Structure 1
Amino acid sequence: MASTSETGHAKNVANFQDLIEFITGYGAIYNPSKTNLKLPQMVALKAAADTSIADVIPKNTDYNTKVNLRAAAFSDVRGLATRLIAALQATDASDETIADAKTFNNKIQGKGSSTPKAPLDPNNPPAKTISASQQSYDQLIQHLSGLKSILEAEPSYAPNEVDLQIATLDTKIADLIQTNDAVPPVYAAVNNARIARDKILYTDENSLFETAKDIKIYVKALFGSTSPEFAQVKGIQIKKPKL
């Protein structure tokens, strides 16, 4: 879904309120046969538009918060993996065990590929797969879990550093899973709210956008194309974004 700023949506609703004010001023002479062009329906539509815009804001905030928490949780994974490999190399582990561990570390580091960025735009889905680098959040969890399993199986791996110990890795991986799993629900919530808003403002048959167009046509028919009344309303813009 293409984005447009929340300010743009709010401006459209404010412009629709201008239409309402002019129509109110025309009094009883404004009497369209089409129900959605009548003044009470216009007022109700404007209220629904306000509500739909307001509904997006907390969901968008929640989404960005969860995305930022996930980015923070994953920010030290690569550095941690490098330290784990060094700690393993300082044990009696075999060359084969170290090589297996390095395979997982290479995947975590994403060698030969770019580092993924967590999306902040609610109109774009959270990063799930970047196949060339195997650097999606899900895969980073899998690779770190694979590295942990090798360390756990090595009898000589018993570091004194708490953050390199297996129990700490278990906690870290659980935290990564929790923060990663928290993103999709809030992503769905904000996108559903945006869809509902866009229906009211732009895409429904009697949306704000379509209603404004029809109001202008009726005012033109009622007062004439050169009338001051039509001059009042014809320049009021309700801009429809690309959806």
Structure 2
Amino acid sequence: MASISEVGHAKNIANLNVLNTNIIAVGTSYNPSNAKLLLTNLQSIYNTALAQQESVNKLVAPYSIAVDEREIIFKPLNRQLTKLRKAYKATEGVTQVQLEDFMTIVRKLKGLRKDTSKASTLPNEEQSQHSISQLSYDQRTNNMDLLISLLENTPNYNPNENEYKVTTYQDLKAKMLVKTQAVAETFVPLNNARSLRNNTLYNSEDNLVDLANKAKDYLFTILDANSAQYKAIAKIKFKKN
């Protein structure tokens, strides 16, 4: 199944809960003058971030399933096109120019390379990765339309085998459109949920990561640097990936 990692975001949220637990253990000594660093505010941010991450988690699966179903439609295409080339070439009266036009379209249809890069957890790159992938599939579907038009306008192209018929590729193009649209439609709510979560964690003025690190700074001013409590808090990390 296709997946987009939410590990980095979830780790920041979980670590805030750990930090809050340590603050509770510190007791009344934790008394920052900055009201934004008060335990009640940090707990409120944690609850908000946790709920937003859970919303993202619920929307990842429909998007991943849509991406997988799109791949099922597109993956066999390269092999199919190789066989179609033979059928087209064997058609009575097909010229070298027509064959070159056919191959130009096929090369474009085969141009989509599998993305082997690791899915990014960077807040500003998640949407970019989707947009690049979606555009590639949209272009591939458009090139299928060009292929169908070429077959329809090639005299004598009327194969007996169903897998090479124009109607077969028309049906395939319709499925490509449906699956590509499903990916786009499931991405929109997921992207919106991520935007809310990312604003809480990273982008707002009083975001989780910045406030958590400030709370750590304050804790270090009131704790013994040699204490086990200090050392445990020092290991709690908050990153903007």
TM-score scaled to structure 1, two decimals?
A: 0.75
1:116 aligns with 2:122: no
- What is the CA–CA distance in structure 2 between the aligned matches of 1:114 and 1:163, rounded to whole Å? 22
Contact 1:81 1:105 (8 Å CA) reproduced: no
* Counterpart for residue 127 of structure 1: 133
Give, in angstroms, the shift of residue 90 of structure 1.
3.6
* Counterpart for residue 238 of structure 1: 237
Range with greater deviation from structure 2 (119-128 or 159-168): 119-128
- What is the CA–CA distance in structure 1 between the aligned matches of 2:160 and 2:216, rounded to whole Å? 76
- What is the CA–CA distance in structure 2 between the aligned matches of 1:145 and 1:155, rounded to whole Å? 18
Unaligned runs of 5+ in 2: 121-125
- Could you list the per-position Cα deviations for residues 79-107 of structure 1 after superposition, in whole angstroms to 9, with x for gaps in the alignment? 33333333334443x233x6325413333
Name the CA shift for 1:229/1:202 in 2 (closer, same or farther; >3 Å).
farther
- What is the CA–CA distance in structure 2 between the aligned matches of 1:114 and 1:148, rounded to whole Å? 17
* Counterpart for residue 142 of structure 2: 142
Contact 1:67 1:118 (8 Å CA) reproduced: no
Name the CA shift for 1:91/1:8 in 2 (closer, same or farther; >3 Å).
closer
Give, in angstroms, the shift of residue 143 of structure 1.
2.9
1:71 aligns with 2:71: yes
- What is the CA–CA distance in structure 1 between the aligned matches of 2:235 and 2:158, rounded to whole Å? 72
- What is the CA–CA distance in structure 1 between the aligned matches of 2:225 and 2:139, rounded to whole Å? 65
Q: Which protein is bigger by CA-based radius of gyration?
A: 1
Contact 1:73 1:175 (8 Å CA) reproduced: yes
Paired residue secondary structure (1:95) = coil
Runs of 4+ in 1 over 6 A off after TM superposition: none
- Specify the code of the residue in structure 2 equivalent to 1:117: K
Contact 2:102 2:150 (8 Å CA) reproduced: no
Q: What is the root-mean-square deviation in Å for CA atoms of aligned residues? A: 3.3
Between the aligned residues of both structures, percent identity stands at 27
Name the CA shift for 1:229/1:203 in 2 (closer, same or farther; >3 Å).
farther
Q: How does 1:202-241 map to 2 (within 5 A)?
A: 202-221=202-221, 223=222, 226=225, 228=227, 231=230, 234-241=233-240
Contact 1:69 1:179 (8 Å CA) reproduced: yes
Contact 1:23 1:30 (8 Å CA) reproduced: yes
Range with greater deviation from structure 2 (164-173 or 138-147): 138-147
Give, in angstroms, the shift of residue 117 of structure 1.
1.6
- What is the CA–CA distance in structure 1 between the aligned matches of 2:209 and 2:144, rounded to whole Å? 50
Give, in angstroms, the shift of residue 169 of structure 1.
1.8
Give, in angstroms, the shift of residue 211 of structure 1.
1.8
- What is the CA–CA distance in structure 2 between the aligned matches of 1:148 and 1:110, rounded to whole Å? 14
Name the CA shift for 1:204/1:230 in 2 (closer, same or farther; >3 Å).
farther
Name the CA shift for 1:226/1:79 in 2 (closer, same or farther; >3 Å).
closer
